[in-house]
Amino acid sequence: MKSFLACVSVIALVLSGAHALAQQKATAQNVSEISYTSAPNFLKIPAGETLGEAVGVATNSKGHIFVYHRSANTRLWEFDKNGVFVKEIGKGYYGFEFAHSVRVDAQDNIWTVDEGTNTVTKFSPEGKFLMVLGRRPPAVDGAVSTTTGPNPPAQKYIFCRPTDVGWDPQGNIFVSDGYCNNRVVKYDKNGRFLTQAGSEKAGNGPGEFNLPHGLQVDGQGNVWVADRSNNRYQVLDNNLKPKTMYTNLGVGWTVCVSPGPHQYVFASNSNPNGNAPGTWDNTGEIYKLELDGTILGKFGHASKEFGGFQVVHMMDCRNPNEIVVGEIESWRVQKLILQPTPAKTSSAR
């Protein structure tokens, strides 16, 4: 029995590794480089504290930075615009177990997505609990093994390792869900289910997903989904009907849409550990796009050194020339100052 278990574990490891080995070089050609610098000593971590896997980063209207990270416990920290620590939010909160995303809405409310507790939580700008979507699996059911085999049917109000959250201008809520569902769900601003695209099953057709890993909504209400294991980004309309997909940007790891009258999209071809030699030469970069998909340029590269990226897990692009990135495998948050791009200088696709 013991050897059987070990055997199963090895197979599981190989399977999960196989996913990472499929690391994609982007097929977009002749993309110009956007020059950038990374601000040194940007975040001042309080003495005695350690940042863990920096999976979630977001800024509010005052430029405060929220970092949702995996340390001994999953924690949410607030820093001011100069990177000085302000406070911890959600200490001991029931919906924090394994961080995945933090986003700040137009009213400066702070939203966390936790793929350990299967919850999406809305906190006030001050950090008070306002609303929760989803439900933490009850502890009384005992220790739960990592799921294998077919996913159980997706439920309207229950998530399975959700990954990200976004809002349209009306305040409707969109959730990418996730690792063991393969769907995008739309709720009204009060958390009432409206519709979904995809299902518990993975698929590669339009409107189907294979690990929707990140999501943001543009000013027209279109939903940009990082469809990670399909190596693409999908754009859905506000009712979640598929509109467009982009398959030339490598792995669809995470996406950010800047606010304002002229919006830009940032998309990361992140490169996890577990790849063969050579992949670092042509992965890890971030693309800057117009909403119509025109590529304006790219920046960055895979590197464990400061200024490079070791798996960008989330980007904040409130200011499209000042990108805050959180890296999962380097336990790092960087602020990148980009050289502004002239409008549509490149027509590369």
Interface positions with another protein (CB under 8 A): 73, 87-88, 90-95, 97, 127-129, 131-132, 135-136, 138-145, 155-158, 190-193
Dihedral angle computed from the Cα positions of residues 10, 15, 19 and 21, in that order, rounded to the nearest 10 degrees: 50
| 175/189 Cα distance (integer angstroms) | 12
Q: For another protein, which is the closer residue by CB, 19 or 136?
A: 136
Q: For another protein, which is the closer residue by CB, 88 or 329?
A: 88
> Minimum Å distance from CB 155 to another protein?
5
> Minimum Å distance from CB 160 to another protein?
12
| 349/276 Cα distance (integer angstroms) | 27
Q: For another protein, which is the closer residue by CB, 144 or 343?
A: 144
Dihedral angle computed from the Cα positions of residues 269, 275, 278 and 280, in that order, rounded to the nearest 10 degrees: 40
Q: For another protein, which is the closer residue by CB, 94 or 331?
A: 94
Helix (H, G, I), strand (E, B) or coil at 89: strand
| 105/126 Cα distance (integer angstroms) | 13
> Minimum Å distance from CB 19 to another protein?
24
> Minimum Å distance from CB 192 to another protein?
7
Phi-psi region of 343 (alpha: psi -120 to 50; beta: other; left: phi over 0): beta
Chain centre distance of CA 296:
21
Please list, residue by residue across 17-28, b when 16 or more beta carbons sit within 10 angstroms of its beta carbon and e when fewer do: eeeeeebbebeb
- E strand or H helix at 102, and its extent? strand 99-104
> Minimum Å distance from CB 5 to another protein?
12
Q: For another protein, which is the closer residue by CB, 45 or 158?
A: 158
Q: For another protein, which is the closer residue by CB, 81 or 128?
A: 128
Strand partners, 164: 176
Alpha helix positions (H), 197-318 = none
Contact call for residues 67 and 77 (beta carbons, < 8 A): yes
> Minimum Å distance from CB 314 to another protein?
23
338: Cα within 13 Å, side-chain hemisphere: 23
| 62/38 Cα distance (integer angstroms) | 21
Strand partners, 110: 104, 123
Q: For another protein, which is the closer residue by CB, 142 or 205?
A: 142
Chain centre distance of CA 46:
25
> Minimum Å distance from CB 139 to another protein?
4
Q: For another protein, which is the closer residue by CB, 155 or 204?
A: 155
> Minimum Å distance from CB 194 to another protein?
11
